[in-house]
Chains A and B, each alone.
Chain A
Amino acid sequence: MIPTPTPEGVVAAAAFLVCLNAVLFWMLGAPRLMAVEVERARRSVDILKRILVPTVGAGHSERGVELACRLGAEQGATILLAYVIEVPRTLPLTAPLAGPEQTAGAALGRAEEIVRLHGLEPQRHVARARVAGEEIVRLARESAADLIVMGIRPRIGLRDEILGRTSDTVLRRAPCEVLLDKLPIPFEEPAAGEKT
């Protein structure tokens, strides 16, 4: 004859079974083991901890900042924002350039706002150089960037090279991964004389 269980015994047995099953379900609920190649592809993005985004303050640059933030959001990457003021050789690098400095400040301010909206940490750099591309490469090397994200101008004239001088230099000489983003033409009309 099967004995009758006591109420407190039922509660104790039920509590034990609930705890045991909770542990086992938690264990078996582990993310499915991915193929090594798949995991490698995912981790290759996870390791992007420092992303450099050069900006010129135009719409396509700011979209580049937004893209960089989304790429770095999951792993909490640091976004390095750079504005390079190209100083012509006719002027010393230290010459006062109030207008471009102001433009740089405004562009970086907008970019920082985008970065902060994602809860990431921005770091801003304003640099002066003769050739913007070389300065971006130098910045990438010195700040140990894992990735450079650049939005490039969408409108390319019939006689223009596809890549501007800056993006060409960066692509050729960057010490890290480079991602160029070119939007379709109707998205934005760039300001006259604007460069990437």
Chain B
Amino acid sequence: MSEPGASAIPADRRSVSAWGTFLGGQAAIGGNLFVALGLVIQASRGGAGFAFALSGLVFLLVGLAYVEMVTALPVAGGAQYFVLRGLGDFWGFIAGAALILDLTIGIALFATMTASYANTFAPVLLGIEASTLAVHLPVVGRFEWFWFAESLAVASSLVVANCRGLKEKARLNAAVGIATLVGLSVLVVAGFLFSWNAIAFVDTLHSDWRGLRGFGYGLSLSIISFVGLQTLALTAAECRRPAAVMPRPSIALILTTVLFALALPHLALGAAPPSVFGHGEAPLAVLAALVPSFGPALSSLISGLACAVLLASANSFLASVSRLAYSMGQYDSLGPWARQTHPRFHTPIKALAVFGALIAGELSLAFFWPGATPLEVLANMYAFGAMLAYSLAMIAVIRLRSMEPHLPRPYRVPISVSLALWGGRTPVPLLAIAALMGSLMLLGFVVATHEIGRIAGPGWILVCTGYYLMYRRSNGLPLFGSIRRDWPGEQVRLLRAADESDQADLYSRARALGAREGHP
């Protein structure tokens, strides 16, 4: 159980600029852009562009609501904390469990993809194609042991480095962010200029359509490009004056992610037939290689860049998941192990060990799953957690507008209507409702089309719920209800810790005024 007065307020925050926040975010979630393209093209063929457009729209709407929350509640728990405040302990835990699944699979996927991009150098470095090292095993079939070993090595190195207290370098993150922005821009511009054919693009759109099921599967896979909003919460929790700093860079990050995610499939479909992208391995290296004359050089550049960005993103996801577990431990959703630190390195050693084991298990499942490539298996499991957490977070955003009307919201999701809800007039953000509907729709597509995800996702949530109920029962805590907490007091402390003391004054004043007028 948490000690009295425990809260999610970090003791020390650093000053960051808008540009620094943007580049840090680019390094944290940029890895997603290097992953999904080949898988979505393989699933949806000509419909890949529409799939990215639709999931990009949902991501944009969800992202705007996320920005409202991370600037109002700048803590590392992110969606788990928003849902905890808005919907109570139980649903907060469900959101947290969904995010843990999502982030650990994300790390496994990034590690696998890092190895996939690194393997494009294998012919030069090792003199052979890495894929030729595969062996056939009974039941499993084709087993790419070299790729598996590389992926496991990448993931375990990150976990071990974080256990020993890997220091995150803001300058390194900024450099990776700039490299991502420039590298992807060069790829898109060079691709459109020299390898894109509008007639071939239109022809693929018309003739190579996989039907609604194929489109739906591709749509649910395209979400991979748009996962990682949780890292915004981590940034907000670490920086000074998030209310002033965070909104613009966060929205810009969301917009640039959508822009790249839209440009890349449109470029790919006009540059080569969908079959060129194979089973989704190193898709951007394949795309870069299509540029005439300087394709090979650009492909090597993109592969090198991908390795750096995917490592940075995996590391950021690892930081997010351990901070999330710490937050869940503070609010009595996970046992004390989630907050136990190593006596020498001062890192959450047990949480990292648990997540390391989980990632290794996910990698093993992916590589030993018969009849599917590792990327397909991981991608199949990936989106469930994100969509469930996003849906719960959107409900929390709407609910908090009514429950905590005085919460300082430096950024508000645009377009609200006043509705009679929860016993009073509530300014309901219409875009958050649209985001909720969108994420529920995508969750529906995931359940309908992901054969592994629809078992693994709900199965994970059920197992975690069992753990939660046992933990709460053994500690005499309400099972489905919530522990009473001094949220207003915590909010004031949180804002003061974030150097937003004027916001804290505003909040206290508004609450006092609201109490006088009979509001919550």
Interface residues of A (CB under 8 A from B): 1-3, 5-6, 8-10, 12-13, 16-17, 19-20, 23-24, 26-28, 30, 33-34, 36, 39-40, 43-44, 47, 144
Min CB gap B264→A, angstroms: 10
A27 pairs with B249, CB closer than 8 A: yes
A9 pairs with B252, CB closer than 8 A: no
B189 pairs with A23, CB closer than 8 A: no
B502 pairs with A9, CB closer than 8 A: no
B193 pairs with A27, CB closer than 8 A: no
B198 pairs with A6, CB closer than 8 A: yes
B241 pairs with A16, CB closer than 8 A: no
A43 pairs with B502, CB closer than 8 A: yes
A30 pairs with B293, CB closer than 8 A: no
* Interface status of B509 (Cβ within 8 A of chain A): yes
Offer 22 A-B interface pairs, CB within 8 angstroms, sorted by A.
Answer: A9-B198, A16-B189, A16-B259, A20-B185, A23-B252, A24-B252, A26-B252, A27-B22, A27-B249, A28-B18, A28-B19, A30-B248, A33-B241, A33-B244, A36-B241, A36-B501, A36-B502, A39-B502, A43-B502, A44-B502, A47-B505, A47-B509
Q: Please name all residues of chain B whose beta carbon is closer than 8 Å to the beta carbon of A3 when the two chains form the complex.
A: 194, 292-293
* Interface status of B224 (Cβ within 8 A of chain A): no
Q: Please name all residues of chain B whose beta carbon is closer than 8 Å to the beta carbon of A9 when the two chains form the complex.
A: 192-194, 196, 198
Q: Please name all residues of chain B whose beta carbon is closer than 8 Å to the beta carbon of A26 when the two chains form the complex.
A: 248, 252
Interface string of B246-277 (1 = CB under 8 A from A): 00110110011001000100110000000000
Task: Give the total of B residues in contact with A, Cβ under 8 Å.
Answer: 37
B196 pairs with A16, CB closer than 8 A: no
Interface residues of B (CB under 8 A from A): 17-19, 22, 185, 188-189, 192-194, 196-198, 241, 244-245, 248-249, 251-252, 255-256, 259, 263, 266-267, 292-293, 499, 501-502, 505-506, 509, 513, 516-517
A144 pairs with B513, CB closer than 8 A: yes
Complex CA distance for A17 and B191, rounded to whole angstroms = 13
A36 pairs with B256, CB closer than 8 A: no
Complex CA distance for A34 and B244, rounded to whole angstroms = 9
Min CB gap B212→A, angstroms: 28
Other contacts beyond A23-B252, A27-B252, A144-B513: 20, CB < 8 A: A1-B293, A3-B293, A5-B194, A6-B196, A9-B192, A9-B193, A9-B196, A12-B266, A12-B267, A17-B185, A17-B189, A23-B259, A24-B252, A24-B256, A27-B248, A36-B241, A40-B502, A43-B502, A47-B505, A144-B517
Interface majority SS on A: helix, strand, loop or mixed? helix
B293 pairs with A2, CB closer than 8 A: yes
Min CB gap B344→A, angstroms: 37
Among B185, B198, B248, contact of A8 (Cβ-Cβ < 8 Å): B198
Interface majority SS on B: helix, strand, loop or mixed? helix
Among A12, A20, A33, A144, contact of B259 (Cβ-Cβ < 8 Å): A20
Q: Considering the complex of A and B, which 10 residue pairs feature the smallest CB-CB distances, nearest first?
A: A27-B252, A13-B192, A5-B193, A8-B198, A12-B192, A30-B248, A3-B292, A13-B189, A40-B502, A9-B192
Complex CA distance for A3 and B293, rounded to whole angstroms = 7
A144 pairs with B293, CB closer than 8 A: no
Complex CA distance for A54 and B198, rounded to whole angstroms = 71
Q: Please name all residues of chain A whose beta carbon is closer than 8 Å to the beta carbon of B245 when the two chains form the complex.
A: 33
Complex CA distance for A36 and B501, rounded to whole angstroms = 9
For A42, the closest partner residue in chain B by CB is B502
Q: Please name all residues of chain A whose beta carbon is closer than 8 Å to the beta carbon of B22 when the two chains form the complex.
A: 27
Q: Please name all residues of chain B whose beta carbon is closer than 8 Å to the beta carbon of A43 when the two chains form the complex.
A: 502, 506
A39 pairs with B244, CB closer than 8 A: yes
Complex CA distance for A24 and B23, rounded to whole angstroms = 11
Min CB gap A2→B, angstroms: 6
Q: Please name all residues of chain A whose beta carbon is closer than 8 Å to the beta carbon of B189 when the two chains form the complex.
A: 13, 16-17
Min CB gap B53→A, angstroms: 14
Complex CA distance for A43 and B408, rounded to whole angstroms = 12
Provided the pairs A23-B256, A27-B252, A30-B248 are in contact, do residues A10 and B193 lie with their beta carbons within 8 angstroms? yes
